Amino acid sequence: MVGKYIEKKSRFYTHLYHIDTESDVESILKSHRSKYKKANHHCYALYFSKNHEVVEKSHDDGEVGHPGKVLLEILKTHDYDHHLIVVSRIFGGVKLGVGGVSKAFKQAASATIEYYQKQL
């Protein structure tokens, strides 16, 4: 599932993946880095439970505003177990600030989740 969100000329490409194992993450991230070569940041969150253990991971990739945590909260709120969400940002030349970055990542991810839910 892919979504695109634009905020002050920055483009945010969001992908939601159902994953079987935690080891799937690295190959997906490698694919994102290749597909979105102009992206400055590839932030992600993973929510995965197995044998009554919960794995929660997030990564900001140097971006301000802790977007990885924002993405993780979205996965948890919607109870998307065995899912990975990745948002690649291509900087548009206008700084968004800490709050603006968090808001933009949240809106990009939320729009993709809403679209995904409508497809089910």
55-105 residue pLDDT tens? 899 999 999 989 999 999 999 999 899 999 999 999 999 999 999 999 999
Structural domain boundaries enclosing 85: 2-119
Confirm if 120 and 39 have CB atoms less than 8 A apart: no
Instruction: Enter the pTM of the model.
Output: 0.91
CATH number of domain containing 48? 3.30.230.30
State how many domains the chain has: 1
Start-to-end CA span in the chain (Å): 12
pLDDT at 114 (0 to 100):
86
Q: Decide: residue 8, CB within 10 A, 0-12 exposed, 13-18 middle, 19+ buried.
A: exposed
- Going by pLDDT thresholds of 50, 70 and 90, the confidence category of residue 1 is low
